[in-house]
A = this chain, B = another copy of it.
Amino acid sequence: MSSQRLIYLPLGGAGEIGMNCYVYGYGPKDQERLILVDLGVTFPDMDGTPGVDLILPDIAWLEERKDRLDAIFITHAHEDHVGAVGHLYERLGAPIFARAFTANIARHKLAEYGFSDSVLRTVSPLPESVKVGDFEVAFLPMSHSIPESSALIIDTPKGRLIHTGDFKLDKTPIVGEPFDPDLWATVAKKGVKALICDSTNVFSPQPGRSEASIGDEITALVAEAPGMVVATTFASNVARVKTLAEAGVRAGRSICLMGRAMRRMIEAAITTGVLADFPKVVSAEEARDIPRENLMLLVTGSQGERRAASAQLANGKYNGISLKEGDMFLFSSKTIPGNERGVIRIMNQFSEMGVDVVDDHGGRYHVSGHANRPDLIEMHKLVHPEMIVPMHGEHRHLREHTKLAQSNGYPATIAVNGTMLDLSGPEPKVCDYVETGRTYLDGSVQYGALDGIVRDRIRMALNGHVLVTVILDEDNEPLGDPWCELKGLAETGKSNAPLVDVLEEDLNQFMGRAAQRTLDDDDKLEDELRKITRRSAMGEIGKKPEVTVVISRLSA
């Protein structure tokens, strides 16, 4: 027994907000039996990942050890926890466990890759539990901003772990189980080895507010609106969607859901029984015939996503419905850092239409789904673990959470993606570093973040691109003149002649005087042609483009 160890290894979600993916293991060193908690995605952006569709954790380490992987547990149905199950399942192959609502969402993702329902087993919360190897895992209901979010109780021969998942302390969450401190106290009573804990809001100094606290404000806002009301929030925030819908109904409005995610989430919530009394909705077609003062749309796109319903309404029309002067658009949401430009673009488009845009107004129409600093302290006290491992945060969140835990006497450490902790002893101990990273899903292909593909795209975007073609005859003599094609570059520069002419002229002169040993050697020739092109462009337009050289030889 003393040679057994209990390990924790984040492959995603530690050192970032998103892409959650945590490995736990128990057994002899390097022979641990493993379980995985969450398999999420994060989202690309133009700055660092242009053209990429989704970012997945790099699970190479786990894939190499898939014979030791016994199960995958999904804490809740947010994309950054469940989004990669479809894309990565084939490489892992272990059974997936989730609660009903989460399972419903996950099954859609698995089905897209042709996996049958049987790979995923729906579990009820505590007292039900799942035995896998030396682990026994139970879902412990917890409030968050999506139904059935759960912490995991992971019982091991070395003691009990609690992996919080995402959470807030909400006793009136509108939909789903309220935070139940008594239940948590019971779970913690016999002692908890380690609390692995959400860090997202560690910098928020005030206690978090309940989902129920904004209902009246939203109701009052909608009641006063003279024209059409459109509201957006994360579709998965079923409680918020319900609050918004009920505010609409109270104001005598028919409710119409717009955007695929919005309809799917509500459908999943009704199907799985977490949402019992959602107001009757009308279709987009029916909505078109309803006077605007009697209509409320609930739409996707709170983050300014270009293809979502809100962006399309901002562009003019969606499902035959347009907004106009006197209508109101409510962002019942917070803008995630990095998404500001997209959200502001939409706000200005609506402004141009004369639509009144209302944002969260400093929290009047939105509350966060994560535990703030005082709530984290409360959670630490409630569970009173032997040690705390902060997760789900950027480095600064993990560091702050670690300091907070330590200041209250709990051993804690910062463990970013790839840092393996040994939890066997009295405090978390770094025992290994594992190579991790990110995998890009791009079209139908997955490749590594460091493969250089995206780097080339960024370079073309920043520098423009010149294609140089030369043809050489059987004697390695130039056949015709070099040829340039420009993309993403100014047409004329300093000399006022077309840039393409200047480049071709310079290349042509070089070819005329090039030594035979250069013309004989592809690498040498390519190198020279690239250099001349870059120097020539620098002189004309003040920047050095990316250059691709194609040398065609008619010989052999």
Interface: A483 (CB within 8 A):
yes
Q: Count of chain A residues with Cβ under 8 Å from any Cβ of B?
A: 63
| Contacts A396-B347, A471-B552, A550-B467 given; does A444 touch B338 at CB 8 Å | no
Question: Complex: how many Å from CA A351 to CA B398?
Answer: 9
What residues of B have a CB within 8 angstroms of the CB of A489 in the complex?
453
Question: Complex: how many Å from CA A396 to CA B345?
Answer: 10
A493 touches B50 (CB 8 A): no
- Segment with Cβ contacts to B, from A120-128, A172-180, A282-290, A540-548: A540-548
Interface: A409 (CB within 8 A):
no
| Contacts A457-B488, A490-B453 given; does A394 touch B467 at CB 8 Å | no
Question: Complex: how many Å from CA A341 to CA B487?
Answer: 28
| Contacts A461-B46, A542-B443 given; does A554 touch B480 at CB 8 Å | yes
Question: Complex: how many Å from CA A490 to CA B456?
Answer: 11
What residues of B have a CB within 8 angstroms of the CB of A464 in the complex?
51, 453, 456-457
A487 touches B469 (CB 8 A): no
What residues of B have a CB within 8 angstroms of the CB of A274 in the complex?
none
What residues of B have a CB within 8 angstroms of the CB of A542 in the complex?
442-445
Question: Complex: how many Å from CA A267 to CA B399?
Answer: 39
Interface: A454 (CB within 8 A):
yes
A45 touches B341 (CB 8 A): yes
Question: Complex: how many Å from CA A484 to CA B439?
Answer: 26
B467 touches A461 (CB 8 A): no
Interface: A217 (CB within 8 A):
no
Copies assembled? 2
Chain A 430-468 near chain B by CB (<8 Å), digits 1 or 0: 000000000000111101000101101110111111010
What residues of B have a CB within 8 angstroms of the CB of A543 in the complex?
51, 442-444
B340 touches A546 (CB 8 A): no
Partner of A541, one of B347, B351, B442, B456: B442
What residues of B have a CB within 8 angstroms of the CB of A462 in the complex?
50-51, 457
What residues of B have a CB within 8 angstroms of the CB of A51 in the complex?
461-464, 488, 543
Partner of A457, one of B395, B460, B471, B483: B460
| Contacts A396-B347, A489-B453, A543-B443 given; does A483 touch B550 at CB 8 Å | yes
Interface: A479 (CB within 8 A):
yes
B461 touches A348 (CB 8 A): no
Q: How far is the CB of A311 from chain B (nearest CB, A)?
A: 14
What residues of B have a CB within 8 angstroms of the CB of A457 in the complex?
460-462, 464, 487-488
Interface: A512 (CB within 8 A):
no
Partner of A460, one of B352, B487, B491: B487
Interface residues of A in 487-520 (CB under 8 A from B): 487-494
Interface: A320 (CB within 8 A):
no
Interface: A47 (CB within 8 A):
yes
B550 touches A396 (CB 8 A): no
Q: Which 10 A-B pairs have the closest CB atoms?
A: A444-B542, A443-B542, A443-B543, A461-B461, A457-B488, A50-B461, A351-B396, A337-B340, A51-B462, A460-B460
**5 additional contacts, CB 8 Å, given A348-B396, A457-B488?**
A46-B47, A338-B344, A451-B491, A453-B489, A483-B552
A-B contact pairs, 25 of them (CB 8 A): A51-B543, A337-B340, A338-B340, A338-B344, A347-B394, A348-B395, A348-B396, A351-B399, A442-B542, A443-B538, A443-B541, A444-B493, A447-B491, A453-B491, A456-B487, A457-B460, A457-B488, A460-B465, A460-B488, A467-B548, A467-B550, A471-B554, A483-B550, A485-B548, A550-B550
